Amino acid sequence: MIKIISSPNCGNSPKMEFLKQYNIAFAEGNLTFLIDSVSDDIVWNIIGDQQIEGKVNFAKALEEMKSVKDVKMKTIFDKNTRDQLVERIEQIRKEQKAEWGKMNVVQMLRHNTYWNGWILGTQDHTYKQAFIGKLFGKMALKRMIKDDRPLDRNIPTSDQFKVHAIDGDLESEKLKWIDLIYKYENYNNPRFIHDFFGKMTKEQIGILVYKHTDHHLRQFGL
């Protein structure tokens, strides 16, 4: 529910012109433009964080983002952090049950091997940002990585990352995931574009991958 305000003389692609102006406004901290460009009943579902409803709450969230100060965050590109995550992955057992969500432990492992392969570019992936991400992706990303708060429980999973098979070789999947974690030491995937957040810096990718990994390990009590 987004009310798009744009000039009738903005060229052959009004939608793209609006996206350009909206992102410029976000970069410049032009909250008036950002707030005036949405409807009163806006619903902003921030991936990994929360759902914000209504223009008043939307404005409040933007004000909070503007006041965020730099905080040193855990990143997958730090060796000690990778080693700590691997130690937690090694503790995964077949009998473990999820504390939230619908995935069993094997599905969680397969989800993470595919997701990390997508980030790393280990296969021939197609990268494209969704239109709604072009509007709110940068704001949502900034909010997600502003501090060391874990990702919210029961955040929605994109269809491409859903695992339907319920059985598999747990130890084999663990080794695949661990191998992918170690590959971040030499990360190099300039083609990567997040389907919601869009183009990301290496620093942002490092924080996101850590938070995503930590989220699923906590999901199974680790």
Average pLDDT, consecutive stretches of 10 residues, N- to C-terminus, the chain (222 residues): 43 65 68 79 67 80 62 90 98 96 96 97 90 87 89 86 93 98 97 95 97 97 96
Domain count, the chain: 2
The answer on 119 and 35 residing in a single domain is no
Q: What residues make up the domain containing 24?
A: 14-66
Question: What is the reported pTM?
Answer: 0.72
Joined together, the tokens standing for residue 61 give 């969230």
The answer on 101 and 25 residing in a single domain is no
- Contact call for residues 207 and 73 (beta carbons, < 8 A): yes
The answer on 169 and 130 residing in a single domain is yes
The answer on 88 and 41 residing in a single domain is no
The answer on 56 and 158 residing in a single domain is no
State residue 2's pLDDT score: 40
Please write down the HEC assignment for all residues of 113-126: HHHHHHHHCCCCCC
State residue 6's pLDDT score: 41
State residue 183's pLDDT score: 98
State residue 155's pLDDT score: 82
The total of other beta-carbon atoms located within 10 Å of residue 141's CB is 24
User: Distance (Å, rounded) from C-alpha 49 to C-alpha 175?
Assistant: 29
